[in-house]
Structure 1
Amino acid sequence: MSEAKLGHLPKPRNNPGRNLPVAIGVGAVLGGLSLLAVWIGPVGWYPLVAAAVAVATWEVVARLREHSYHIPRMPMLLLGQLMVWLSWPFGTTGLVAAYVAAVLSIMFGRLFYHGRTTPPQNYLRDTAMSIFVLTWIPLFASFAAMLSLISSDGVSGSLYIITFMLCVVASDTGGFIAGVMFGSHPMAPAVSPKKSWEGFAGSVIGGSVTGALTVSLLLGHEWWIGAIMGVGLVICATLGDLVESQFKRELGIKDMSNLLPAHGGLMDRLDGMLPSAMVTWLVLSVLGS
Protein backbone atom coordinates (compact mmCIF):
# COMPACT_ATOMS: atom_id res chain seq x y z
CA MET A 1 0.00 0.00 0.00
CA SER A 2 1.41 3.39 -0.99
CA GLU A 3 2.23 6.16 1.48
CA ALA A 4 -0.40 8.33 -0.21
CA LYS A 5 -3.11 5.82 0.59
CA LEU A 6 -1.83 5.35 4.12
CA GLY A 7 -2.04 9.07 4.63
CA HIS A 8 -5.81 8.94 4.23
CA LEU A 9 -6.26 6.50 7.14
CA PRO A 10 -7.30 8.12 10.44
CA LYS A 11 -4.51 8.28 12.99
CA PRO A 12 -5.21 7.11 16.53
CA ARG A 13 -5.84 9.95 18.94
CA ASN A 14 -4.71 7.92 21.94
CA ASN A 15 -2.10 5.33 22.91
CA PRO A 16 -3.52 1.84 23.61
CA GLY A 17 -1.47 1.80 26.80
CA ARG A 18 -0.39 -1.86 26.61
CA ASN A 19 1.56 -4.39 24.55
CA LEU A 20 -1.11 -5.38 22.05
CA PRO A 21 0.50 -8.57 20.66
CA VAL A 22 1.01 -9.96 24.17
CA ALA A 23 -2.43 -8.80 25.28
CA ILE A 24 -4.06 -10.45 22.27
CA GLY A 25 -2.14 -13.68 22.89
CA VAL A 26 -3.16 -13.85 26.54
CA GLY A 27 -6.74 -12.99 25.58
CA ALA A 28 -6.74 -15.80 23.00
CA VAL A 29 -5.60 -18.33 25.63
CA LEU A 30 -8.28 -17.18 28.07
CA GLY A 31 -10.86 -17.30 25.31
CA GLY A 32 -9.81 -20.82 24.35
CA LEU A 33 -10.17 -22.04 27.94
CA SER A 34 -13.60 -20.42 28.17
CA LEU A 35 -14.78 -22.01 24.92
CA LEU A 36 -13.55 -25.43 26.08
CA ALA A 37 -15.48 -25.03 29.34
CA VAL A 38 -18.58 -23.93 27.43
CA TRP A 39 -18.34 -26.95 25.14
CA ILE A 40 -18.13 -29.32 28.12
CA GLY A 41 -21.20 -27.74 29.74
CA PRO A 42 -21.92 -26.89 33.39
CA VAL A 43 -19.41 -29.56 34.47
CA GLY A 44 -16.71 -27.49 32.77
CA TRP A 45 -18.16 -23.99 33.11
CA TYR A 46 -18.81 -24.04 36.85
CA PRO A 47 -15.23 -25.05 37.81
CA LEU A 48 -13.87 -22.32 35.51
CA VAL A 49 -16.08 -19.65 37.09
CA ALA A 50 -15.27 -20.94 40.59
CA ALA A 51 -11.53 -20.81 39.85
CA ALA A 52 -11.84 -17.26 38.49
CA VAL A 53 -13.75 -16.22 41.61
CA ALA A 54 -11.03 -17.68 43.84
CA VAL A 55 -8.19 -15.95 41.99
CA ALA A 56 -9.99 -12.59 41.73
CA THR A 57 -10.97 -12.68 45.41
CA TRP A 58 -7.40 -13.52 46.38
CA GLU A 59 -6.08 -10.57 44.36
CA VAL A 60 -8.51 -8.05 45.81
CA VAL A 61 -8.18 -9.23 49.41
CA ALA A 62 -4.38 -9.22 49.09
CA ARG A 63 -4.37 -5.61 47.91
CA LEU A 64 -6.74 -4.57 50.70
CA ARG A 65 -4.65 -6.32 53.37
CA GLU A 66 -1.58 -4.49 52.06
CA HIS A 67 -3.39 -1.23 52.82
CA SER A 68 -4.30 -2.04 56.44
CA TYR A 69 -7.76 -3.50 55.81
CA HIS A 70 -8.41 -6.50 58.05
CA ILE A 71 -10.13 -8.86 55.63
CA PRO A 72 -10.16 -12.59 56.52
CA ARG A 73 -8.60 -14.22 53.45
CA MET A 74 -9.57 -17.89 53.82
CA PRO A 75 -13.16 -17.25 55.01
CA MET A 76 -13.67 -14.92 52.05
CA LEU A 77 -12.39 -17.56 49.63
CA LEU A 78 -14.50 -20.34 51.16
CA LEU A 79 -17.65 -18.23 51.39
CA GLY A 80 -17.25 -17.15 47.78
CA GLN A 81 -16.98 -20.77 46.67
CA LEU A 82 -20.07 -21.64 48.71
CA MET A 83 -22.06 -18.98 46.85
CA VAL A 84 -20.98 -20.20 43.42
CA TRP A 85 -21.48 -23.92 44.01
CA LEU A 86 -24.84 -23.68 45.81
CA SER A 87 -26.22 -21.83 42.78
CA TRP A 88 -25.83 -25.02 40.71
CA PRO A 89 -28.30 -27.35 42.45
CA PHE A 90 -30.52 -24.67 44.02
CA GLY A 91 -30.34 -21.73 41.59
CA THR A 92 -30.97 -18.26 42.95
CA THR A 93 -32.38 -19.73 46.17
CA GLY A 94 -29.06 -21.38 46.94
CA LEU A 95 -27.13 -18.28 45.91
CA VAL A 96 -29.16 -15.95 48.14
CA ALA A 97 -28.96 -18.37 51.08
CA ALA A 98 -25.18 -18.65 50.71
CA TYR A 99 -24.81 -14.88 50.34
CA VAL A 100 -26.83 -14.21 53.50
CA ALA A 101 -24.81 -16.82 55.40
CA ALA A 102 -21.59 -15.21 54.14
CA VAL A 103 -22.68 -11.71 55.20
CA LEU A 104 -23.72 -12.93 58.65
CA SER A 105 -20.42 -14.78 59.04
CA ILE A 106 -18.46 -11.63 58.22
CA MET A 107 -20.60 -9.38 60.43
CA PHE A 108 -20.36 -11.65 63.47
CA GLY A 109 -16.85 -12.95 62.90
CA ARG A 110 -15.39 -9.46 62.58
CA LEU A 111 -16.56 -8.67 66.12
CA PHE A 112 -13.98 -11.10 67.50
CA TYR A 113 -11.20 -10.59 64.94
CA HIS A 114 -8.85 -9.51 67.77
CA GLY A 115 -10.27 -11.90 70.36
CA ARG A 116 -12.99 -11.69 73.00
CA THR A 117 -11.13 -9.30 75.30
CA THR A 118 -10.01 -6.73 72.69
CA PRO A 119 -12.57 -4.40 71.10
CA PRO A 120 -12.73 -4.57 67.28
CA GLN A 121 -10.88 -1.88 65.36
CA ASN A 122 -12.33 -0.29 62.20
CA TYR A 123 -15.29 -2.67 62.44
CA LEU A 124 -17.61 -0.74 60.13
CA ARG A 125 -14.93 -0.09 57.50
CA ASP A 126 -13.65 -3.65 57.31
CA THR A 127 -17.08 -5.28 57.50
CA ALA A 128 -18.46 -3.02 54.76
CA MET A 129 -15.45 -3.71 52.53
CA SER A 130 -15.72 -7.48 53.04
CA ILE A 131 -19.41 -7.44 52.09
CA PHE A 132 -18.57 -5.25 49.10
CA VAL A 133 -16.03 -7.82 47.87
CA LEU A 134 -18.49 -10.69 48.37
CA THR A 135 -21.03 -8.81 46.29
CA TRP A 136 -18.60 -7.58 43.67
CA ILE A 137 -16.98 -10.93 42.87
CA PRO A 138 -18.73 -14.19 43.91
CA LEU A 139 -22.30 -12.86 43.88
CA PHE A 140 -22.07 -11.33 40.40
CA ALA A 141 -19.94 -14.21 39.09
CA SER A 142 -22.58 -16.71 40.21
CA PHE A 143 -24.96 -15.22 37.66
CA ALA A 144 -22.37 -15.92 34.95
CA ALA A 145 -22.18 -19.51 36.21
CA MET A 146 -25.96 -19.89 36.17
CA LEU A 147 -26.09 -18.97 32.48
CA SER A 148 -25.08 -22.57 31.82
CA LEU A 149 -28.25 -23.81 33.52
CA ILE A 150 -30.66 -21.95 31.23
CA SER A 151 -32.32 -24.03 28.53
CA SER A 152 -35.43 -23.49 26.46
CA ASP A 153 -36.99 -25.06 23.35
CA GLY A 154 -33.93 -27.17 22.63
CA VAL A 155 -31.48 -24.29 23.10
CA SER A 156 -28.69 -25.40 25.42
CA GLY A 157 -27.12 -23.35 28.18
CA SER A 158 -23.89 -23.25 26.15
CA LEU A 159 -25.50 -20.96 23.60
CA TYR A 160 -26.60 -18.60 26.35
CA ILE A 161 -23.02 -18.41 27.60
CA ILE A 162 -21.72 -17.84 24.07
CA THR A 163 -24.25 -15.04 23.63
CA PHE A 164 -22.91 -13.39 26.79
CA MET A 165 -19.28 -13.86 25.78
CA LEU A 166 -19.76 -12.51 22.26
CA CYS A 167 -21.53 -9.43 23.59
CA VAL A 168 -18.73 -8.78 26.08
CA VAL A 169 -16.05 -9.20 23.40
CA ALA A 170 -17.94 -6.93 20.99
CA SER A 171 -18.43 -4.31 23.69
CA ASP A 172 -14.75 -4.37 24.68
CA THR A 173 -13.53 -4.35 21.09
CA GLY A 174 -15.87 -1.58 19.96
CA GLY A 175 -15.03 0.54 22.98
CA PHE A 176 -11.28 -0.01 22.60
CA ILE A 177 -11.18 0.84 18.90
CA ALA A 178 -13.45 3.88 19.21
CA GLY A 179 -11.61 5.10 22.31
CA VAL A 180 -8.15 4.78 20.77
CA MET A 181 -9.12 6.22 17.40
CA PHE A 182 -11.52 8.98 18.37
CA GLY A 183 -11.62 9.36 22.16
CA SER A 184 -11.42 13.03 23.14
CA HIS A 185 -14.27 13.64 25.60
CA PRO A 186 -13.61 12.05 29.02
CA MET A 187 -16.60 10.31 30.54
CA ALA A 188 -15.54 10.52 34.19
CA PRO A 189 -12.12 12.21 34.35
CA ALA A 190 -12.08 12.21 38.16
CA VAL A 191 -12.37 8.42 38.19
CA SER A 192 -10.88 7.17 34.89
CA PRO A 193 -9.33 9.87 32.66
CA LYS A 194 -8.82 7.47 29.72
CA LYS A 195 -12.46 6.37 29.45
CA SER A 196 -14.20 8.50 26.82
CA TRP A 197 -17.72 9.02 25.56
CA GLU A 198 -16.51 7.99 22.11
CA GLY A 199 -15.32 4.69 23.54
CA PHE A 200 -18.64 4.22 25.30
CA ALA A 201 -20.47 4.84 22.02
CA GLY A 202 -18.30 2.19 20.34
CA SER A 203 -19.16 -0.25 23.12
CA VAL A 204 -22.88 0.46 22.79
CA ILE A 205 -22.78 -0.13 19.04
CA GLY A 206 -20.78 -3.34 19.38
CA GLY A 207 -22.80 -4.69 22.30
CA SER A 208 -26.25 -3.86 20.94
CA VAL A 209 -25.59 -5.12 17.40
CA THR A 210 -24.02 -8.33 18.66
CA GLY A 211 -26.82 -8.77 21.20
CA ALA A 212 -29.44 -8.39 18.48
CA LEU A 213 -27.69 -10.89 16.20
CA THR A 214 -26.92 -13.55 18.82
CA VAL A 215 -30.29 -13.47 20.55
CA SER A 216 -32.02 -13.69 17.16
CA LEU A 217 -29.79 -16.23 15.41
CA LEU A 218 -28.57 -18.40 18.30
CA LEU A 219 -31.47 -18.24 20.75
CA GLY A 220 -34.37 -17.71 18.35
CA HIS A 221 -35.89 -14.66 20.07
CA GLU A 222 -36.75 -11.17 18.85
CA TRP A 223 -33.70 -9.15 17.81
CA TRP A 224 -34.79 -6.04 19.72
CA ILE A 225 -34.65 -7.97 23.01
CA GLY A 226 -31.02 -8.73 22.28
CA ALA A 227 -30.33 -5.10 21.43
CA ILE A 228 -31.78 -3.95 24.75
CA MET A 229 -29.80 -6.63 26.58
CA GLY A 230 -26.64 -5.50 24.80
CA VAL A 231 -27.13 -1.89 25.87
CA GLY A 232 -27.79 -2.94 29.47
CA LEU A 233 -24.69 -5.12 29.40
CA VAL A 234 -22.55 -2.25 28.11
CA ILE A 235 -23.84 0.17 30.75
CA CYS A 236 -23.09 -2.28 33.57
CA ALA A 237 -19.70 -3.20 32.11
CA THR A 238 -18.74 0.48 31.84
CA LEU A 239 -19.82 1.22 35.39
CA GLY A 240 -17.98 -1.90 36.54
CA ASP A 241 -14.81 -0.57 34.92
CA LEU A 242 -15.28 2.75 36.69
CA VAL A 243 -15.85 1.05 40.04
CA GLU A 244 -12.58 -0.86 39.73
CA SER A 245 -10.78 2.29 38.57
CA GLN A 246 -11.92 4.13 41.69
CA PHE A 247 -11.05 1.12 43.84
CA LYS A 248 -7.48 1.08 42.51
CA ARG A 249 -7.23 4.86 42.66
CA GLU A 250 -8.05 4.89 46.37
CA LEU A 251 -5.48 2.17 47.02
CA GLY A 252 -2.90 3.88 44.82
CA ILE A 253 -2.26 0.87 42.57
CA LYS A 254 -2.24 0.43 38.79
CA ASP A 255 -3.24 -3.25 38.53
CA MET A 256 -4.69 -5.81 40.92
CA SER A 257 -1.69 -8.06 40.24
CA ASN A 258 0.77 -8.99 37.49
CA LEU A 259 -0.73 -12.43 36.90
CA LEU A 260 -1.65 -11.84 33.23
CA PRO A 261 1.04 -10.26 31.01
CA ALA A 262 -0.14 -6.99 29.38
CA HIS A 263 -3.46 -7.30 31.21
CA GLY A 264 -2.58 -6.95 34.90
CA GLY A 265 -4.56 -9.12 37.27
CA LEU A 266 -7.47 -11.40 36.54
CA MET A 267 -9.78 -8.93 38.27
CA ASP A 268 -8.62 -6.28 35.79
CA ARG A 269 -10.24 -8.44 33.09
CA LEU A 270 -13.37 -9.34 35.05
CA ASP A 271 -14.29 -5.89 36.38
CA GLY A 272 -16.80 -5.15 33.64
CA MET A 273 -17.93 -8.73 33.03
CA LEU A 274 -19.11 -9.37 36.58
CA PRO A 275 -21.95 -6.82 36.84
CA SER A 276 -22.90 -7.30 33.19
CA ALA A 277 -23.32 -11.04 33.83
CA MET A 278 -26.18 -10.28 36.21
CA VAL A 279 -28.05 -8.21 33.61
CA THR A 280 -27.46 -10.85 30.94
CA TRP A 281 -28.71 -13.64 33.18
CA LEU A 282 -31.79 -11.61 34.11
CA VAL A 283 -32.80 -11.04 30.49
CA LEU A 284 -31.85 -14.46 29.15
CA SER A 285 -33.37 -16.40 32.06
CA VAL A 286 -36.69 -14.66 31.38
CA LEU A 287 -36.43 -15.71 27.74
CA GLY A 288 -35.58 -19.25 28.77
CA SER A 289 -38.43 -19.59 31.26
Structure 2
Amino acid sequence: MAAAPLEPAGTAPQASRAGRNLPAAIAVGVVLLGVFGASLWFRPEPFVALAIITMGAGLWELKQAFARRHLNLPFLPLAVGGAGMAVSAYAGGPEALLVAYVLTLAAVVLWRVLDGPGPQALRDAAASVFAATYVPFLGGFVVLLLGQADGAWRVALFILLAVANDTGGYIAGVLFGRHPLAPTVSPKKSWEGLAGSLVLAVVVGLGGTVLVLDLPLSTHWWLGVVLGVMTAVTATVGDLAESLLKRDLELKDMGSLLPGHGGVLDRVDSLLVTAPFVYLVLSVAASGTTA
Protein backbone atom coordinates (compact mmCIF):
# COMPACT_ATOMS: atom_id res chain seq x y z
CA MET A 1 0.00 0.00 0.00
CA ALA A 2 1.58 3.26 -1.06
CA ALA A 3 1.64 5.64 1.87
CA ALA A 4 1.43 9.31 1.12
CA PRO A 5 0.95 11.18 4.38
CA LEU A 6 -0.14 14.77 4.67
CA GLU A 7 -0.12 15.13 8.43
CA PRO A 8 1.82 18.05 9.93
CA ALA A 9 4.87 17.52 12.06
CA GLY A 10 4.41 16.91 15.75
CA THR A 11 2.78 13.49 15.83
CA ALA A 12 3.45 11.11 18.65
CA PRO A 13 7.01 9.82 18.72
CA GLN A 14 5.99 6.18 18.61
CA ALA A 15 4.16 6.64 15.33
CA SER A 16 5.30 7.81 11.93
CA ARG A 17 3.75 10.72 10.06
CA ALA A 18 1.66 8.10 8.26
CA GLY A 19 0.08 7.10 11.55
CA ARG A 20 2.01 3.83 11.80
CA ASN A 21 4.21 2.46 14.52
CA LEU A 22 7.17 2.65 12.16
CA PRO A 23 9.65 0.39 14.02
CA ALA A 24 7.00 -2.32 14.37
CA ALA A 25 5.94 -1.90 10.75
CA ILE A 26 9.52 -2.25 9.50
CA ALA A 27 10.22 -5.25 11.74
CA VAL A 28 7.04 -7.07 10.69
CA GLY A 29 7.65 -6.23 7.03
CA VAL A 30 11.18 -7.63 7.15
CA VAL A 31 9.99 -10.80 8.89
CA LEU A 32 7.21 -11.32 6.35
CA LEU A 33 9.60 -10.73 3.46
CA GLY A 34 12.00 -13.25 4.97
CA VAL A 35 9.33 -15.88 5.58
CA PHE A 36 7.91 -15.69 2.07
CA GLY A 37 11.40 -15.50 0.56
CA ALA A 38 12.48 -18.60 2.49
CA SER A 39 9.34 -20.44 1.37
CA LEU A 40 10.33 -19.86 -2.27
CA TRP A 41 13.95 -20.92 -1.86
CA PHE A 42 13.90 -24.72 -2.01
CA ARG A 43 10.49 -25.97 -3.16
CA PRO A 44 7.24 -24.27 -4.18
CA GLU A 45 4.92 -26.20 -1.84
CA PRO A 46 5.74 -24.14 1.30
CA PHE A 47 4.85 -20.96 -0.57
CA VAL A 48 1.52 -22.44 -1.66
CA ALA A 49 0.86 -23.41 1.97
CA LEU A 50 1.66 -19.86 3.13
CA ALA A 51 -0.63 -18.48 0.43
CA ILE A 52 -3.46 -20.69 1.72
CA ILE A 53 -2.86 -19.54 5.31
CA THR A 54 -2.80 -15.89 4.20
CA MET A 55 -6.04 -16.32 2.26
CA GLY A 56 -7.69 -17.99 5.24
CA ALA A 57 -6.65 -15.16 7.54
CA GLY A 58 -7.95 -12.58 5.06
CA LEU A 59 -11.29 -14.39 4.75
CA TRP A 60 -11.59 -14.55 8.54
CA GLU A 61 -10.99 -10.79 8.79
CA LEU A 62 -13.66 -10.18 6.15
CA LYS A 63 -16.09 -12.40 8.05
CA GLN A 64 -15.54 -10.42 11.26
CA ALA A 65 -15.76 -7.08 9.45
CA PHE A 66 -18.93 -7.93 7.51
CA ALA A 67 -20.61 -9.05 10.73
CA ARG A 68 -20.71 -5.36 11.66
CA ARG A 69 -23.27 -4.97 8.87
CA HIS A 70 -25.11 -8.16 9.84
CA LEU A 71 -23.67 -10.12 6.94
CA ASN A 72 -22.80 -13.73 7.66
CA LEU A 73 -20.00 -15.22 5.56
CA PRO A 74 -19.84 -19.06 5.63
CA PHE A 75 -16.18 -19.32 6.56
CA LEU A 76 -15.71 -23.08 6.19
CA PRO A 77 -16.69 -23.41 2.50
CA LEU A 78 -14.87 -20.16 1.73
CA ALA A 79 -11.66 -21.38 3.37
CA VAL A 80 -11.86 -24.84 1.80
CA GLY A 81 -12.66 -23.30 -1.57
CA GLY A 82 -9.78 -20.84 -1.20
CA ALA A 83 -7.36 -23.67 -0.47
CA GLY A 84 -8.74 -25.53 -3.48
CA MET A 85 -8.18 -22.50 -5.71
CA ALA A 86 -4.55 -22.17 -4.61
CA VAL A 87 -3.79 -25.86 -5.14
CA SER A 88 -5.66 -25.90 -8.45
CA ALA A 89 -3.82 -22.82 -9.69
CA TYR A 90 -0.46 -24.41 -8.93
CA ALA A 91 -1.27 -27.90 -10.19
CA GLY A 92 -3.53 -27.11 -13.15
CA GLY A 93 -3.02 -23.52 -14.24
CA PRO A 94 -5.61 -20.81 -15.00
CA GLU A 95 -8.30 -23.20 -16.23
CA ALA A 96 -8.16 -25.19 -13.00
CA LEU A 97 -8.26 -21.97 -10.96
CA LEU A 98 -11.41 -20.87 -12.80
CA VAL A 99 -13.10 -24.24 -12.23
CA ALA A 100 -12.23 -24.17 -8.51
CA TYR A 101 -13.54 -20.59 -8.30
CA VAL A 102 -16.90 -21.47 -9.87
CA LEU A 103 -17.25 -24.53 -7.61
CA THR A 104 -16.48 -22.37 -4.57
CA LEU A 105 -19.15 -19.84 -5.55
CA ALA A 106 -21.71 -22.63 -5.94
CA ALA A 107 -20.72 -24.13 -2.59
CA VAL A 108 -20.93 -20.90 -0.57
CA VAL A 109 -24.26 -19.89 -2.10
CA LEU A 110 -25.76 -23.34 -1.53
CA TRP A 111 -24.36 -23.46 2.01
CA ARG A 112 -25.97 -20.15 2.88
CA VAL A 113 -29.32 -20.92 1.23
CA LEU A 114 -29.56 -24.19 3.15
CA ASP A 115 -29.28 -22.16 6.36
CA GLY A 116 -32.50 -20.42 5.45
CA PRO A 117 -33.96 -18.55 2.45
CA GLY A 118 -35.09 -14.97 2.26
CA PRO A 119 -33.61 -11.50 1.68
CA GLN A 120 -30.92 -12.02 4.32
CA ALA A 121 -29.73 -15.18 2.58
CA LEU A 122 -29.44 -13.21 -0.66
CA ARG A 123 -27.38 -10.51 1.02
CA ASP A 124 -25.12 -13.08 2.68
CA ALA A 125 -24.69 -14.98 -0.59
CA ALA A 126 -23.73 -11.79 -2.48
CA ALA A 127 -21.21 -10.90 0.24
CA SER A 128 -19.79 -14.43 0.08
CA VAL A 129 -19.33 -14.20 -3.69
CA PHE A 130 -17.46 -10.92 -3.17
CA ALA A 131 -15.24 -12.50 -0.49
CA ALA A 132 -14.41 -15.53 -2.67
CA THR A 133 -13.50 -13.24 -5.56
CA TYR A 134 -11.60 -10.63 -3.62
CA VAL A 135 -9.32 -12.86 -1.57
CA PRO A 136 -8.69 -16.40 -2.91
CA PHE A 137 -9.49 -15.86 -6.58
CA LEU A 138 -7.32 -12.76 -6.99
CA GLY A 139 -4.70 -14.31 -4.72
CA GLY A 140 -4.68 -17.37 -6.95
CA PHE A 141 -2.90 -15.35 -9.63
CA VAL A 142 0.18 -15.17 -7.40
CA VAL A 143 0.18 -18.98 -7.32
CA LEU A 144 -0.22 -18.99 -11.11
CA LEU A 145 2.98 -16.96 -11.30
CA LEU A 146 4.68 -19.67 -9.28
CA GLY A 147 3.65 -22.25 -11.88
CA GLN A 148 5.37 -20.41 -14.73
CA ALA A 149 8.93 -21.06 -15.87
CA ASP A 150 11.28 -19.65 -13.20
CA GLY A 151 8.14 -19.18 -11.15
CA ALA A 152 9.90 -18.55 -7.85
CA TRP A 153 11.85 -15.67 -9.38
CA ARG A 154 8.70 -14.24 -10.93
CA VAL A 155 6.91 -14.30 -7.58
CA ALA A 156 9.97 -12.65 -6.04
CA LEU A 157 9.79 -9.92 -8.70
CA PHE A 158 6.08 -9.43 -7.98
CA ILE A 159 6.79 -9.06 -4.25
CA LEU A 160 9.70 -6.67 -4.87
CA LEU A 161 7.49 -4.54 -7.12
CA ALA A 162 4.99 -4.30 -4.26
CA VAL A 163 7.74 -3.40 -1.78
CA ALA A 164 9.06 -0.74 -4.16
CA ASN A 165 5.56 0.69 -4.57
CA ASP A 166 5.11 0.95 -0.80
CA THR A 167 8.59 2.28 -0.09
CA GLY A 168 8.64 4.84 -2.88
CA GLY A 169 5.17 6.07 -1.99
CA TYR A 170 5.97 6.33 1.71
CA ILE A 171 9.25 8.21 1.28
CA ALA A 172 7.91 10.64 -1.32
CA GLY A 173 4.73 11.15 0.67
CA VAL A 174 6.59 11.96 3.88
CA LEU A 175 9.10 14.28 2.23
CA PHE A 176 7.02 16.00 -0.43
CA GLY A 177 3.35 15.12 0.08
CA ARG A 178 1.27 18.27 -0.29
CA HIS A 179 -1.55 17.50 -2.73
CA PRO A 180 -4.18 14.93 -1.63
CA LEU A 181 -4.83 12.10 -4.05
CA ALA A 182 -8.26 11.08 -2.74
CA PRO A 183 -9.01 13.20 0.34
CA THR A 184 -12.48 11.79 0.96
CA VAL A 185 -11.25 8.19 0.84
CA SER A 186 -7.68 8.22 2.18
CA PRO A 187 -6.59 11.70 3.32
CA LYS A 188 -2.96 10.68 3.91
CA LYS A 189 -2.29 9.75 0.30
CA SER A 190 -0.85 12.34 -2.07
CA TRP A 191 -0.01 12.73 -5.72
CA GLU A 192 3.62 13.10 -4.69
CA GLY A 193 3.42 9.71 -2.98
CA LEU A 194 2.00 8.16 -6.13
CA ALA A 195 4.87 9.68 -8.12
CA GLY A 196 7.34 8.12 -5.69
CA SER A 197 5.66 4.75 -6.11
CA LEU A 198 5.87 5.06 -9.89
CA VAL A 199 9.56 5.93 -9.91
CA LEU A 200 10.77 3.17 -7.58
CA ALA A 201 8.45 0.53 -9.05
CA VAL A 202 9.71 1.33 -12.57
CA VAL A 203 13.31 1.01 -11.34
CA VAL A 204 12.53 -2.43 -9.90
CA GLY A 205 10.63 -3.37 -13.05
CA LEU A 206 13.62 -2.47 -15.21
CA GLY A 207 15.95 -4.43 -12.95
CA GLY A 208 13.62 -7.42 -12.95
CA THR A 209 13.46 -7.40 -16.74
CA VAL A 210 17.21 -7.94 -16.88
CA LEU A 211 17.95 -9.99 -13.76
CA VAL A 212 14.80 -12.10 -13.42
CA LEU A 213 13.40 -12.36 -16.93
CA ASP A 214 16.88 -12.38 -18.52
CA LEU A 215 15.83 -9.99 -21.30
CA PRO A 216 18.03 -7.28 -22.80
CA LEU A 217 17.13 -3.84 -21.50
CA SER A 218 17.86 -2.21 -24.85
CA THR A 219 14.92 -3.96 -26.51
CA HIS A 220 12.66 -4.77 -23.53
CA TRP A 221 12.90 -1.60 -21.44
CA TRP A 222 9.21 -1.08 -22.11
CA LEU A 223 8.39 -4.23 -20.14
CA GLY A 224 10.03 -2.86 -17.00
CA VAL A 225 8.20 0.44 -17.44
CA VAL A 226 4.85 -1.31 -17.93
CA LEU A 227 5.41 -3.47 -14.84
CA GLY A 228 6.33 -0.47 -12.71
CA VAL A 229 3.55 1.85 -13.86
CA MET A 230 0.93 -0.88 -13.73
CA THR A 231 1.99 -1.93 -10.23
CA ALA A 232 1.80 1.64 -8.90
CA VAL A 233 -1.63 2.23 -10.46
CA THR A 234 -3.27 -1.07 -9.56
CA ALA A 235 -1.77 -1.11 -6.06
CA THR A 236 -3.15 2.37 -5.42
CA VAL A 237 -6.57 1.35 -6.73
CA GLY A 238 -6.51 -1.74 -4.50
CA ASP A 239 -5.52 0.28 -1.47
CA LEU A 240 -8.19 2.91 -2.08
CA ALA A 241 -10.82 0.22 -2.66
CA GLU A 242 -10.08 -1.33 0.71
CA SER A 243 -10.13 2.13 2.29
CA LEU A 244 -13.63 2.64 0.89
CA LEU A 245 -14.67 -0.73 2.28
CA LYS A 246 -13.28 0.08 5.72
CA ARG A 247 -14.92 3.49 5.67
CA ASP A 248 -18.28 1.87 4.93
CA LEU A 249 -17.71 -0.67 7.71
CA GLU A 250 -16.50 2.09 10.07
CA LEU A 251 -13.17 0.37 10.66
CA LYS A 252 -9.67 1.80 10.94
CA ASP A 253 -8.00 -1.55 10.20
CA MET A 254 -9.32 -4.91 9.04
CA GLY A 255 -7.52 -6.60 11.91
CA SER A 256 -4.62 -6.38 14.34
CA LEU A 257 -2.61 -9.49 13.49
CA LEU A 258 0.34 -7.55 12.03
CA PRO A 259 1.67 -4.79 14.34
CA GLY A 260 2.30 -1.56 12.46
CA HIS A 261 0.27 -2.76 9.49
CA GLY A 262 -3.14 -3.69 10.89
CA GLY A 263 -4.65 -6.89 9.56
CA VAL A 264 -3.64 -9.28 6.83
CA LEU A 265 -5.98 -7.59 4.35
CA ASP A 266 -4.44 -4.22 5.18
CA ARG A 267 -1.11 -5.67 4.05
CA VAL A 268 -2.23 -7.54 0.91
CA ASP A 269 -5.06 -5.34 -0.38
CA SER A 270 -2.90 -3.78 -3.10
CA LEU A 271 -1.23 -7.11 -3.91
CA LEU A 272 -4.56 -8.81 -4.60
CA VAL A 273 -5.54 -6.27 -7.25
CA THR A 274 -2.05 -6.14 -8.77
CA ALA A 275 -1.48 -9.91 -9.07
CA PRO A 276 -3.72 -10.58 -12.11
CA PHE A 277 -2.13 -7.75 -14.08
CA VAL A 278 1.45 -8.79 -13.32
CA TYR A 279 0.57 -12.37 -14.25
CA LEU A 280 -0.98 -11.22 -17.53
CA VAL A 281 1.97 -8.99 -18.48
CA LEU A 282 4.56 -11.65 -17.66
CA SER A 283 2.56 -14.32 -19.52
CA VAL A 284 2.33 -12.15 -22.64
CA ALA A 285 6.03 -11.31 -22.38
CA ALA A 286 6.93 -14.99 -22.02
CA SER A 287 4.84 -15.96 -25.04
CA GLY A 288 6.42 -13.17 -27.06
CA THR A 289 9.98 -14.21 -26.29
CA THR A 290 9.32 -17.88 -27.08
CA ALA A 291 7.36 -17.24 -30.28
Q: Same fold (TM over 0.5)?
A: yes
1:112–1:120 CA contact under 8 A, matched in 2: no
Rounded to whole Å, the distance in 2 between the matches of 1:49 and 1:145 is: 8
Higher RCO (C-alpha 8 Å, min separation 6): 2
Equivalent residues, number = 271
Rounded to whole Å, the distance in 1 between the matches of 2:238 and 2:271 is: 8
What stretches of structure 1 of length at least 5 have no aligned partner? 1-11
Alignment of 1:188-227 (within 5 A): 188-221=182-215, 222-227=220-225
Question: Paired residue for 2:164?
Answer: 170
Question: Paired residue for 1:233?
Answer: 231
What stretches of structure 2 of length at least 5 have no aligned partner? 1-6, 10-16
Shift of 1:211: 0.5
Question: Paired residue for 1:5?
Answer: none
1:210–1:227 CA contact under 8 A, matched in 2: no
Rounded to whole Å, the distance in 1 between the matches of 2:178 and 2:56 is: 37
CA deviation vs aligned residue, 1:194-226 (integer Å, no higher than 9, x gap): 111111111111111210111122212222112
Rounded to whole Å, the distance in 2 between the matches of 1:226 and 1:49 is: 26
1:148–1:158 CA contact under 8 A, matched in 2: yes
Rounded to whole Å, the distance in 1 between the matches of 2:41 and 2:235 is: 25
CA deviation vs aligned residue, 1:7-59 (integer Å, no higher than 9, x gap): xxxxx956121111111111111011011011123222111111111111111
Shift of 1:270: 0.3
Give the secondary structure class of the aligned counterpart of 1:55. Answer: helix
Shift of 1:91: 0.6
Rounded to whole Å, the distance in 1 between the matches of 2:188 and 2:130 is: 25
Question: Paired residue for 1:103?
Answer: 105
Give the secondary structure class of the aligned counterpart of 1:195. Answer: strand
Amino acid at match of 1:270: V
Shift of 1:191: 1.3
Rounded to whole Å, the distance in 1 between the matches of 2:179 and 2:141 is: 33
Larger Rg: 1
Question: Paired residue for 1:58?
Answer: 60
CA deviation vs aligned residue, 1:63-110 (integer Å, no higher than 9, x gap): 112431021111111111111111121111110001111122233333
**Aligned: 1:180 with 2:182:** no
1:37–1:45 CA contact under 8 A, matched in 2: yes
Question: Given the superposition, is the C-alpha separation of residues 159 and 238 from structure 1 closer, same or farther in structure 2, using an over 3 Å criterion?
Answer: same
